[in-house]
Amino acid sequence: MEEEEKEEGMPLIGDEFPEMTVNTTHGEIELPQEFEGEWFILFSHPGDFTPVCTTEFYAFQKRFDEFRELNTELIGLSIDQVYSHLKWTEWIEDELGEKIEFPIIADGQGKVADKLGLIHHTGGTATVRAVFIVDPQSTIRAILYYPAELGRNMDEIIRMIKGFQKADEENVAIPANWPENELVGDDVIMPPANSDEMIKERREQEDKGEIECYDWWLCHKES
199 within a domain of the structure (yes/no): yes
53 is catalytic: yes
pLDDT(2) > 60: no
127 in the same domain as 178: no
Q: Say yes or no: 193 and 95 in one domain.
A: no
Q: Are residues 39 and 144 in the same domain?
A: yes
Residues β-bridged to residue 54: none
Mean pLDDT of the chain: 93
170: part of which helix (H) or strand (E)? helix 154-170
Number of domains the chain is built from = 2
DSSP states of 32-79? TGGGTTSEEEEEE-S-TT-HHHHHHHHHHHHTHHHHHHTTEEEEEEES
Owning domain of residue 177:
171-223
**Within this chain, do residues 139 and 36 fall inside the same structural domain, yes or no?**
yes
C-alpha distance from residue 171 to each of 6, 120, 163, 197 (Å): 34, 37, 11, 19
145 shares its domain with 35: yes
Q: Are residues 191 and 101 in the same domain?
A: no
Question: Which residue in the list 22, 41, 53, 74 is annotated as catalytic?
Answer: 53
Q: What is the CATH number of the domain that holds 223?
A: 3.30.1020.10
Whether residue 73 is predicted with pLDDT greater than 90 in this model: the reply is yes
Whether the predicted pLDDT of 104 surpasses 60: yes
Give the domain CATH number at 26. 3.40.30.10
Q: Are residues 120 and 206 in the same domain?
A: no
Find the angle CA(102)-CA(105)-CA(107) to the nearest 5 degrees: 165
> 180 and 138: one domain?
no
Residues 122 and 220 in one domain: no
- Predicted local distance difference test score (pLDDT) of residue 9: 74
